[in-house]
Amino acid sequence: MFQTEFDFVLPKGFVDDNGGIHREGTMRLATALDEIAPLEDPRVRNNEAYVVIVLLARVIVRLGTLKRITPYVIENMYAADIAFLQDLYQQINDLEERTLVVECPNCRHEFDVSVPFLGE
């Protein structure tokens, strides 16, 4: 069976305006639109690092009892939780670095070459 959603538990948890802590959540697989749409966001245009915030807000479908996951929620998480979510995103979307073994046509020495992802 093909799995499209993955449960997680944040190391710290998001603290809402009422002091409630939200740690358990679900992230879904990303689509091409999830990767492209944040590039149109003015916050991303002003600061490329913000793409992580918008992207995570799109793919996290549940976090504790929150009704909706917005960039505001993500940008107010602790750094440890953001790092955790970025790692999870890469794991479930198979975004590991890809390498090929190539051979120099002159000396026949073999070496690894990193293959960029689409858009890199």
For residue range 16-53, what is the model confidence (pLDDT) as tens digits? Answer: 999 999 999 999 999 999 999 999 999 999 999 899 99
For the chain, how big is the Rg over CA atoms in Å? Answer: 18
Q: What residue ranges do the domains of the chain occupy?
A: 5-115
Question: H or E element: which one contains 31?
Answer: none
Tokens of 53: 């915030």
Tokens of 96: 């590991």
Does the predicted model carry a pTM greater than 0.75?
Answer: yes
Neighbours of 9 (CB within 10 A): 9
pLDDT in tens, 85-115: 999 999 999 865 667 788 888 898 888 877 6
